[in-house]
Amino acid sequence: MSTSTASGYQVDETPTKTKLLTALFAIGGVLSLPTGILLLGASSAPAVGVAGNVTGILTVLAIGTFVFGGISLTLAYGLWNVRAWSWYGTVLVTVSSIGLSLWVLLQAGSLPWYNLLIALAVLWALWDDQAAFGLDHQLPV
């Protein structure tokens, strides 16, 4: 159970939708660790007939995976404890995910719909639970 007093709004428990987001980010962060380890292992294993720059690409991907995992776990902690910074961080990561999905659409001609739908659901849940974080953003409509 979490307690927060951001902007004078008292929260005695983490909202249910925020708990679900916490689980998604925590699972993503935890699964990033073995993924990064596998990528590092693949980058250091001698490969027959593989171009030399593939190992460099795999190393960069491994580092990116570890960074993503750390960010995900940090955001999961903040969401669980209903911290305003985690609300903003999660919005930033989610909007970046939407941008990446649109970039994939432009590059590959196909859109990863599941990523887009999950990102929109995350934004909706954050928007709906913003009062718990002590925030009161209004739509400009």
Query: Does residue 124 lie within any of the structural domains?
Result: yes
Overall average pLDDT of the 35-60 stretch: 77
Query: Does residue 87 lie within any of the structural domains?
Result: yes
What confidence tens digit (pLDDT) does each residue in 87-96 have? 999 999 999 9
Query: Does residue 127 lie within any of the structural domains?
Result: yes
N- to C-terminal Cα separation, the chain: 35
CA neighbor of 98 nearest in space, from 110, 116, 72: 116
Query: Does residue 84 lie within any of the structural domains?
Result: yes
- How many structural domains is the chain composed of? 1
For the chain, the residue count is 141
Query: Does residue 6 lie within any of the structural domains?
Result: no
Could you tell me which residues come within 8 angstroms of residue 66 by beta carbon, excluding any fewer than 6 positions away?
A: 32, 33, 36
Sorting pLDDT into bands at 50, 70 and 90, what band is 101?
Answer: confident
pLDDT at 86 over 90: yes
Residue-range definition of the domain harbouring residue 95: 12-133
Sorting pLDDT into bands at 50, 70 and 90, what band is 129?
Answer: very high
Query: Does residue 126 lie within any of the structural domains?
Result: yes
- Who wins on pLDDT, 114 or 89? 89
Q: For position 12, what pLDDT does the model report?
A: 62
Dmax (CA) for the chain in angstroms is 62
What confidence tens digit (pLDDT) does each residue in 22-47 have? 999 999 999 999 999 998 888 777 66
Overall average pLDDT of the 123-129 stretch: 93
pLDDT at 1 over 50: no
Check: CB of residue 70 under 8 Å from CB of residue 89: no
Query: Does residue 5 lie within any of the structural domains?
Result: no
Residue type, 132: A
Q: For position 141, what pLDDT does the model report?
A: 59
CA distances in angstroms from 103 to 2, 57, 114, 118, listed in the order given: 37, 20, 15, 17
Query: Does residue 140 lie within any of the structural domains?
Result: no
Check: CB of residue 20 under 8 Å from CB of residue 11: no
